[in-house]
Amino acid sequence: MLNADNIRKDFPILSLSVYGKPLVYLDNAATTQKPRSVVDAIANEYYNVNANVHRGVHFLSQKATELHEQARETVRAFIHARSTSEIVFTRGTTESINLVATCFSQACMKEGDEVIISAMEHHSNIVPWQMAAGRMGIQLKVIPINDKGELLMEDYEKLFSPHTRLVSVAHVSNVLGTVNPVKEIISIAHDHGVPVLIDGAQSAPHMPIDVQELDCDFFAFSGHKTYGPTGIGVLYGKEKWLDQLPPYQGGGEMIQHVSFQHTTYNELPYKFEAGTPDYVGSHALAVAIDYLNTLGMDNIHAYERQLTDYAMRQMQQIEGMRFFGTADNKDAVISFLVGDIHHLDLGTLLDRLGIAVRTGHHCAEPLMHRLGIEGTVRASLAFYNTREEIDSLVAAIQRLKQMF
Ligand code: PLP
């Protein structure tokens, strides 16, 4: 079992005080804190390596290119992709999904075609499809959920029609914590000859991912939620799909030859990486992944599950506690309201006690409508959180409740 007290020493920011109180950071679904090795890697690259990648014959450029391409291999191994050709660096989950929505719709869809998403999607997995729908006359179909926040799989099967071209769903909900049965979702879609994109923003940081075992066609995640830096993310795509898609943006890196009449495109994955890539970010992401590998993704998952169960048990004892998301298979995200206290009031007052939680609709307004609420307070956990921090959260909520 992981020892969070030891691990915390690797994250200098966790020893901060805010308003004179020890920081209790429970906003990990929004972004995670960075271990010292990641911050050091960024500084070290700028101090000792920095040069633009792929184009230089000189020492630094070759060294920077080596780190960037090693990072691609580290990401490949992290999600068990078959080849580094299938690993595209992007700015994050949002850009990865936008890339697929734009390029897939252009190459593989026509008016009247359909995309299936779910009722619990983040706006990043709704709006890009709506934009594609607006451009091309595509329809969105939505898998409904039950009151525990689980997908209704029988209804999912009924959504398929001869016009269904893609399924795009979250692996783990950023509001409900529900771990969706993605393997089953993918297998059903494949039975209909339909590819699947998995939004892994909330799964890649918390559990082992094997894209070959899942058999997903696309998988997206963000560096900054995976203990790495901001501004870097990943799109995994099966080679057979990436090969069929047109480039997303034009410019340097994605070309083979350019004349004023015609451009030929680079091989995978560079076809999708126009412009100077965030090569410092990719290397720092690889250092973050190395850190996670040292802890072990299985260990991280087991620890966070236990901590989530503990938190749910302790919070349940608070009178007036209402949880949103009580799926049987639930990860480290806890959304709640207490009595009739407004989520924003509760979040603001918790902040004054040093406890960082998120409030609002969590970029999932359609889900809020389904739940019949405007927003929630969300505590989202990581492997560096402790039972003592959960106890502080519970004590703080109890104290604030008395004030209302
Ligand atoms: N998808 C889910 C499930 C998320 O939780 C988030 C961020 O909270 C995103 C997509 C978007 O991630 P990013 O802002 O890093 O692109």
| Domains of the chain, CATH where assigned | 4-30+296-403 (3.90.1150.10), 40-294 (3.40.640.10)
| Res 350: pLDDT | 98
Give the pLDDT confidence of 38-96 residue by residue, as tens digits. 999 999 999 999 999 998 899 999 999 999 999 999 999 999 999 999 999 999 999 99
Beta strands, E only, 29-154: 87-90, 114-118, 139-143
The mean of the pLDDT values for the chain is 97
Q: Give the residue whose CA is nearest to atom 5 of ligand 1.
A: 174
Angle between helices 36-48 and 279-295 (to 10 degrees): 150
| Res 404: pLDDT | 86
90 alpha carbon to ligand 1 midpoint, in Å? 13
| Ligand 1 closest atom vs CA 94 | 16
DSSP 228-277: S-TT-EEEEE-HHHHHHSPPSS-STTSEEEE-SS-EEEPPTTGGG--SS-
What residues are in contact with ligand 1 under a 6 Å CB criterion? 29, 92-94, 122, 124-125, 170, 174, 199, 201-202, 222, 225
| Ligand 1 closest atom vs CA 225 | 15
| Res 252: pLDDT | 85
216 alpha carbon to ligand 1 midpoint, in Å? 18
pTM, full prediction: 0.98
Q: How far is Cα 31 from Cα 26, in angstroms, rounded to an integer?
A: 10
251 alpha carbon to ligand 1 midpoint, in Å? 26
Task: Fill in the DSSP letter of residue 351.
Answer: H
Q: Which of 148, 89, 75 lies closest to 322 in space, CA to CA?
A: 148
Q: How far is Cα 317 from Cα 394, in angstroms, rounded to an integer?
A: 9
| Res 324: pLDDT | 98
Q: How far is Cα 29 from Cα 131, in angstroms, rounded to an integer?
A: 25
Which residues of the chain are under the pLDDT cut of 70?
A: none
Give the pLDDT confidence of 135-177 residue by residue, as tens digits. 999 999 999 999 999 999 999 999 999 999 999 999 999 999 9
| Res 55: pLDDT | 80
Q: How far is Cα 392 from Cα 404, in angstroms, rounded to an integer?
A: 19
- Cα separation values, 356 from 245, 253, 377, 385, 396, Å: 41, 41, 10, 12, 12
Q: Give the residue whose CA is nearest to atom 4 of ligand 1.
A: 201
Q: Tell me the catalytic residues.
A: 363
| Res 56: pLDDT | 84
Which residue out of 94, 117, 232 has the highest number of ligand 1 atoms within 8 Å of its CB and is therefore the one to mutate? 94
